[in-house]
Chains A and B, each alone.
Chain A
Amino acid sequence: MLSRFQSGLSPITRRRIAVFRGNRRARWSLWLFVLFFAISLGAELIANDKPILLQYQDRWYTPLFVDYPETEFGGFLPTKADYRDEFVYDEIAANGWMLWPPIPFSYDTLDRNLSHPAPSPPTWRHWLGTDDQGRDVLARVIYGFRLSVIFALVLTAGSLVLGVLVGGIQGYFGGKIDLIGQRFTEIWAGLPVLFLLIILASLVEPNLWWLLGIMLLFSWLGLVDIVRAEFLRARNLEYVRAARALGLPSYLIMWRHVLPNAMVATLTFVPFLFTGAITTLTALDFLGFGLPPGSPSLGELVAQGKNNLQAPWLGITAFITLSLMLSLLVFIGEGLRDAFDPRHILAPMQPDTETSMAPLTKEPADER
């Protein structure tokens, strides 16, 4: 611990970053994805049915964070103020002003003043049109994107922890533990996930956490094999044996010596877990076994597109959103995989003598 941070990044890490940055497609995909995700994190500021800020009779209000009763703005009922209601809108406009988000609809706002019957085509009011219940498609896409990514993030993180834990224990200890663990994971992997979800949907109201929990029970299985193989290989390396000879307990050896090496193979797998999670959530929503009705979900948008072929903006929006998101993730994954691949050659890069020359001068003697 004394000096870990003094010398900064290790040259291996620096080389990996250089390879990743050298891959222009992966770099752009990462930036775009981060940008989209950042935008969607601020979804409440972009698409909402409440103003961000308003001044009414010389007092300041922040409806985004505080719920005000309608009586506050000259209404008669002590219910939550509906700022889209004509009466409230006019009242505030007469006695002050409101700052609205660029899209004045949230994902669940029903627009009752549609120029066409729902699903209505794209207009200036609804840039991507509305769905068959009169909700703004663009707002739903922004919220849906955020929900998908967060779902995938949590699921991936959870699978990573479980998969590394189980795979690491099997690989490091080997023998009987490995044998029993392998048979167990094989049986576990044989359970039909989809049926379990469908049965669950009929027992409880499936919400985000239920879905996460059930998916988490199975999604770590793919990682186990990789991590186990890495640990099996690493446990006979000399520095691991040296650590055992020093008398270090197993958990410390696994954490400090074996895990950092296993992480390389594992991290390469992560982007693909991530896309898998998004696809699964979308598929479940499409089939109607996913998130509760009304949630902003891309799968539900796909289903609406299928049911309303006369409204092509639904299907086209869903298609473009999903394919863009998944393609970006696959490109990022490819870049990561190349960056972690020791055989990857830095040739197309500008001759950065420090990083690119060092391996080249040594390699020919070893390889031939």
Chain B
Amino acid sequence: MSADTVFSLNRFSIAFGNMTVVEDLSLEIRRGETLALVGESGSGKSVSALGAMGLLPESARVTGERRLSDVDLSQLSAKDWQRVRGNQVGFIFQEPMTSLNPLHTIAKQIGETLRLHQGLTSRGARERVRELLVQVKLPRPDELLDAWPHQLSGGQRQRVMIAMAIANRPRLLIADEPTTALDVTVQQDILALLAELRELHGMALLFITHDLNLVRRHADRVCVLYRGQVQESGSVEEVFQRPKSAYTRALLDAEPEGRPVELPDTASPLLEARELEVSYARPKRLFARGRAPFMAVQPLNLHVQRGETLGIVGESGSGKTTLAMALLRLTGSTGQIAFDGERIDNLKGNELRKRRGNFQVVFQDPFGSLSPRMPVADIVSEGLRFHYPDLDDNEVSQRVTRALHEVGLPADCTARYPHEFSGGQRQRIAVARAIILEPQLLVLDEPTSALDRTVQKQLIELLRDLQARRGLSYLFISHDLAVVRAMAHRVIVLKDGAVIEQGSCEQVLHAPRSEYTQALVDAAGLTI
């Protein structure tokens, strides 16, 4: 252990009851260094950080040596802890929407820790908060002092969180997935800011993430965790060039690869939309003239051919999902939509319901898209039982088994409930529910974004496989260009509800014509 080691763990373990979640973790971070703690969800990375700082509930058993500079953290009393947390150690969490108190202004939130730990007066604290806001590069710092959290965007809130974390010039900054909830272009800015502040204050940075792309660019050393055990640690170049453990290799290989299936020459259009537009009326004030409606999707034309995948790319709020919901007739819209040569935009009630079997959807959140109170067999067969009421139980269960087999799930899972499955498996159940009706078009709304990289890759392979076998058309919505590249034939780039760019996938990703697309491509860090 060298003199400028700021934080170290030695044979550090955490257990809940008789379940060990972190085992024999040893690491150290020096001044001005970034250590990345990498692993998939459930690997114990967040728990390690919380456990080291004594933030776990009483039921957790934390053992092993943990030191902050020369202080032994396991010996601290509750009072000592208060002096350490927020003072010598700063935290940044994943969710910028909920980690700020909605009832306090920015100046009050940041100022609170200053008054508490440095004993500043409220005027002094305000001065210092303004300085901090400048340091984290927030625009118009004077106005923001009295702003409420809801007036800021996600990226701005995360900057406020950073300002809060560095307010007392901590020696160690713990950033737990600080950019996961943010758009890719914002991610880069936040991480660059963190690196700059680290240099400026000579802090040590513990960077917890699942994203190897970010580790490669922003960390000095890396420690790979898998099920609470260290697989590998070392400098970033070393680990990325010559990974020693099989798990690290699997993680590095998990970049989605391959290209979409070749389109047949005889492709004919399946879905066509003309002048499609979605707008929401804004609330009208009494006696005021009605304001112009909010345009979620500005008039656009698009078509999807049989067997083709159309990628829709854009950041959050760009109208991707709204567009898809409008095409599925789940949201009101104007303009023409033709499916398989038939207008569906003016169908209603039963007529529309009968055709819904032909265009199905898979949603983003594998935890929210399955009814928690239904067993898998009921979830998958629900549409079938409604659309083909004359099928007998035997036939239904046969088709369910076949659909589950096709998405690579064992047949004996029919009686189990969704919570018994992992995220990737749930997403497979959602795909099975969609394909059991033998649709021609499948809308995939960010199907991979809630999954770990290795699971993502498997799902993408499954989807491509299904497309080749069934000649399915996909409308593939994603913000992740690496995934889009592996899936889509053509791409539409959306921003604020308008089409910025469209064309073949290769063309758009290799030679983007608009600045916005260029920024997205840069941020994704594609290795082309």
A residues apposed to B, CB below 8 Å: 1-4, 6-7, 10-12, 237-239, 241-249, 252, 256-257, 260-261, 351, 353, 357, 360-361, 363-365, 368
Contacts and interface: CB of A to CB of B under 8 A. Distances in A.
A125 to B, nearest CB: 57
B17 A357 contact: yes
Nearest to B400: A2
Contact of A239 (B355, B368, B397): B368
Contacts of A257: 371
A133 B103 CA distance: 64
B11 to A, nearest CB: 21
Contacts of A10: 372-373, 417
Nearest to A351: B17
Contact of B363 (A241, A260, A363, A368): A241
Interface in B423-450: 430, 433, 437
A162 B53 CA distance: 53
Given A2-B393, A246-B383, A257-B371, A361 B21 contact: yes
B415 A7 contact: yes
10 closest cross-chain pairs (CB), A and B: A247-B356, A246-B383, A238-B369, A247-B353, A3-B415, A238-B368, A238-B363, A365-B46, A245-B361, A361-B16
A361 B19 contact: yes
Given A2-B378, A3-B377, A364-B55, A246 B368 contact: no
B416 interface: yes
A368 B361 contact: no
A3 B377 CA distance: 7
A353 B355 CA distance: 48
A3 B373 contact: no
A347 to B, nearest CB: 8
B412 to A, nearest CB: 11
24 contacts: A2-B377, A2-B378, A2-B414, A3-B414, A6-B415, A7-B375, A7-B416, A10-B372, A11-B419, A12-B373, A237-B368, A238-B363, A238-B368, A245-B330, A245-B361, A246-B386, A249-B353, A256-B374, A256-B382, A357-B19, A361-B19, A364-B50, A364-B56, A364-B57
A48 to B, nearest CB: 47
B527 interface: no
Interface of B: 16-19, 21, 46-47, 50, 55-57, 59-60, 93, 325, 328, 330, 352-357, 359-361, 363-365, 368-375, 377-378, 381-383, 386-387, 393, 396-397, 414-417, 419, 430, 433, 437
Nearest to A357: B17
A368 to B, nearest CB: 6
Contacts of A245: 328, 330, 356, 359-361
B16 to A, nearest CB: 5
Contacts of A242: 361, 363, 369-370, 430, 433
Given A242-B363, A246-B437, 8 more contacts: A2-B393, A6-B415, A11-B419, A239-B371, A243-B382, A244-B330, A260-B371, A353-B17
B328 A360 contact: no
B409 to A, nearest CB: 15
B494 to A, nearest CB: 20
A252 B386 contact: yes
Nearest to B60: A364
Given A2-B397, A11-B419, A361-B16, A248 B378 contact: no
B19 A12 contact: no
B386 A1 contact: no
A260 B55 CA distance: 36
A1 B416 CA distance: 13
Contacts of B363: 238, 241-242
Given A3-B377, A365-B50, A247 B357 contact: yes
A248 B356 CA distance: 9
A318 to B, nearest CB: 44
A245 B352 CA distance: 10
B386 A360 contact: no
Given A3-B415, A238-B368, A365-B47, A247 B386 contact: yes
Nearest to B16: A361
Contacts of B325: 241
A1 B374 CA distance: 9
Contacts of B387: 247
A360 B16 contact: yes
Contacts of A261: 373
Nearest to A252: B386
Contacts of A256: 371, 374, 382
B433 A246 contact: yes
B20 to A, nearest CB: 11
Contacts of B365: 238
B177 to A, nearest CB: 10
A241 B330 contact: yes
B148 to A, nearest CB: 23
Contacts of A1: 378
Contacts of A365: 46-47, 50
Given A2-B397, A246-B386, A239 B353 contact: no
Contacts of B354: 247
Contacts of B60: 364
Contacts of A246: 356-357, 360, 382-383, 386, 433, 437
A4 B378 contact: yes
Contacts of B381: 2
Nearest to B367: A238
B331 to A, nearest CB: 10
Nearest to B41: A365
Nearest to B372: A12
Nearest to B356: A247
A362 to B, nearest CB: 9
Contacts of A368: 50, 55, 93
Nearest to A239: B371
Nearest to B414: A3
A32 to B, nearest CB: 32
Contacts of B21: 361
B47 A364 contact: yes
Nearest to A6: B415
Nearest to B56: A364
A365 B60 CA distance: 12
A7 B419 CA distance: 13
